[in-house]
Structure 1
Amino acid sequence: MPLPDKELQRSEHGKLIGRVAVVTGAAGGIGCATALALAQAGARVVVSDMQLEAGEAAAALIRTAGGQAVFVACDVSEPAQVARLIEQTVEEYGALQILVNNAGISGGSSLAHEMDIELWDRVMAVNVRGPFLCVKAAMPHLLASGHQAAIINIASTYGLIGALRAPAYCASKGALVNLTRQLAVDYGPQGIRVNAVCPGYIDTDMGGSVAKLPAEQATAARARREANAALQPLGRQAQADEVARVVAFLASDDSSFMTGSIVTVDGGCTATVNHGPRA
């Protein structure tokens, strides 16, 4: 993603100054863009991911631009690693007000009866168990922050509709959507807001799955995504920062009466049916 001009431009007059955010899966794509957007709004950010070099680079990107960020490696499916992530956050910055559960994997492309059971379990471990573990570890600190606390879960339009050959991903993101609603019910009385963002076709390669394909298959996969995105009302894929700005809004007091909301950032794809290519 592009660097801001030399110094970090403080968005909306630093609406998140004084707040601390953890963003999982922040080594690239939506996670990296979100970490940068939160820093632009004044937050101190903990960038977390399993990709060590890319994670360190994302944190360095924020610091180079004038923001505050550190990198902490973490596999969100592992309770001990998640607990250490939250401990290191509080040790570094003294508090935690914002949790962005972005880490996720796709699970590849297959029919349900052909899918490897271990892969199904891994998708559920990262996409559902991971956010639960992060919420469990972070909640005492979020409760201490009161009405400044916000959780934003990065789900997917695939958690709202069915999609071809994506049984584990659809199931996991559907679970995350309803976990969002449930958490909002339990923790709203304590002032903690919990919302989800459901991106559609975004111009990223989640987990580097396309990059791992042979060149011809990778080109075909990208072409399919672009063709599908072209059928949406806005007719294109989004850039990661277009999702990140929505996440930053949900983290800020501008969304103070929003909780349990499932916000689509999808170019209109869930607003209509696929009518085929435009004339």
Structure 2
Amino acid sequence: MKKPEHDRAVGRLSDRVLLVTGGSSGIGRAIALAAAAEGAQVVIADVHPEGAEQTLAAITAANGEATFFPCDVASDVQVRDLMEAAIHRFGQLDILVNNAGIGGDNAPAHELDLETWDRIMAVNLRGPFLCARYALPHLMQSGSGVIVNVASTYGLIGAPNAPAYCASKGGVVNLTRQLAVDYGQRGVRVNAVCPGYVDTDMGGRRASLPPEEAQAAHDRREANAARQPLGRQAHADEISRAVIFLASGESSFMTGSIVTVDGGCTATFNHD
């Protein structure tokens, strides 16, 4: 049941229900917090309940309204149940943000094991498809539904030792365009953001490494980011601001758009 109007924040997403996958940390948490601050009722979906509960607590502490449902976006049954639970909780769904994703290949194609390929593709590409599949009937009913996919600059260019990640994010980029074609005249806009280097630890990869290796991984990202035009990594809230723009009426004539938020990295060669 919705809160009375006078109890809710007034913002660009007032009276809207937004569901974000991968909302337990990093970009997903920043999106959830920003959406709640803009007046949305927020559904957080993730496989990491502890982090998701922290996101939820931060929203409620700021007088926002949110709920959390556990979900592995690679599971057809879990995604179906997620959408049903969201509708049962709030009565509508207006915005889907497909943010959940994993990395982890770090090998050339001839050395990459099939299990790693399948898992990355399942979360990064099957996941957004499943979420869209089950959300779209509700988004069409909304009359002004929105999907924002979080892809990556690695979906636009090649990158060393990342065949599965690049392929999965490239799939998200073109899935975005394809859904925009099919659903524009059905009242649903579909766009994507492509972040570059963002100062997060996606999937807790660095946290699982020995301290020396974790620091080396962080230093490599910092060094790579320093070579791009803006010379640094993004903060998660810099990505969330682009997502909120695409989710709001401010982008009302945008669909099928692929928006880079990358410090200029795809605009230039990373040459010495």
Question: Could you say which TM-score interval applies, normalised by the shorter chain?
Answer: over 0.9
Amino acid at match of 2:108: L
Identity across aligned pairs (percent)?
Answer: 63
1:58 correspondence with 2:52: no
State the partner residue of 1:189: 185
1:135 correspondence with 2:132: yes
State the partner residue of 1:5: none
The equivalent position to 1:232 in structure 2, one of 206, 228, 235, is: 228
| Structure 1 CA distance for aligned equivalents of residues 187 and 73 of structure 2 | 25
| Structure 1 CA distance for aligned equivalents of residues 96 and 171 of structure 2 | 18
Q: How does 1:151-190 map to 2 (within 5 A)?
A: 151-190=147-186
Give 1:108 shift: 3.2
State the partner residue of 1:115: 112
Give 1:70 shift: 0.6
State the partner residue of 2:196: 200
RMSD of aligned Cα (Å): 1.0
Report the TM-score when normalising by structure 1: 0.93
State the partner residue of 2:211: 215
Amino acid at match of 2:190: V
| Structure 2 CA distance for aligned equivalents of residues 57 and 216 of structure 1 | 28
1:250 correspondence with 2:246: yes
The equivalent position to 2:30 in structure 1, one of 8, 24, 33, is: 33
Give 1:190 shift: 1.0
| Structure 2 CA distance for aligned equivalents of residues 123 and 154 of structure 1 | 15
State the partner residue of 2:98: 101
| Structure 1 CA distance for aligned equivalents of residues 105 and 233 of structure 2 | 20
Give 1:123 shift: 0.4
- Whether the 8 Å CA contact 1:107–1:120 is kept in 2: the answer is no
Report the TM-score when normalising by structure 2: 0.96
| Structure 2 CA distance for aligned equivalents of residues 93 and 240 of structure 1 | 27
Give 1:216 shift: 1.1
Count of residue pairs the alignment pairs up: 265
SS, match of residue 208 in structure 2: coil
Amino acid at match of 1:169: Y
| Structure 1 CA distance for aligned equivalents of residues 256 and 210 of structure 2 | 41
Q: Deviations over 1:122-164 (max 9, x none)?
A: 00100010011001111110010012x1000000000000001
Q: Deviations over 1:87-114 (max 9, x none)?
A: 1111111000000000000023111111
| Structure 1 CA distance for aligned equivalents of residues 250 and 204 of structure 2 | 34
| Structure 2 CA distance for aligned equivalents of residues 80 and 64 of structure 1 | 32
The equivalent position to 1:261 in structure 2, one of 254, 257, 260, is: 257
SS, match of residue 211 in structure 1: helix
| Structure 1 CA distance for aligned equivalents of residues 159 and 189 of structure 2 | 29
1:125 correspondence with 2:122: yes
State the partner residue of 2:78: 81
Gaps spanning 5+ residues in structure 1: where?
1-8
| Structure 2 CA distance for aligned equivalents of residues 83 and 46 of structure 1 | 14
Q: Deviations over 1:28-79 (max 9, x none)?
A: 0000000111111100000110001111111111111110011100000001
**Structure 1 moving runs of 4+ over 4 Å:** none
The equivalent position to 1:92 in structure 2, one of 89, 103, 108, is: 89
| Structure 2 CA distance for aligned equivalents of residues 21 and 86 of structure 1 | 11
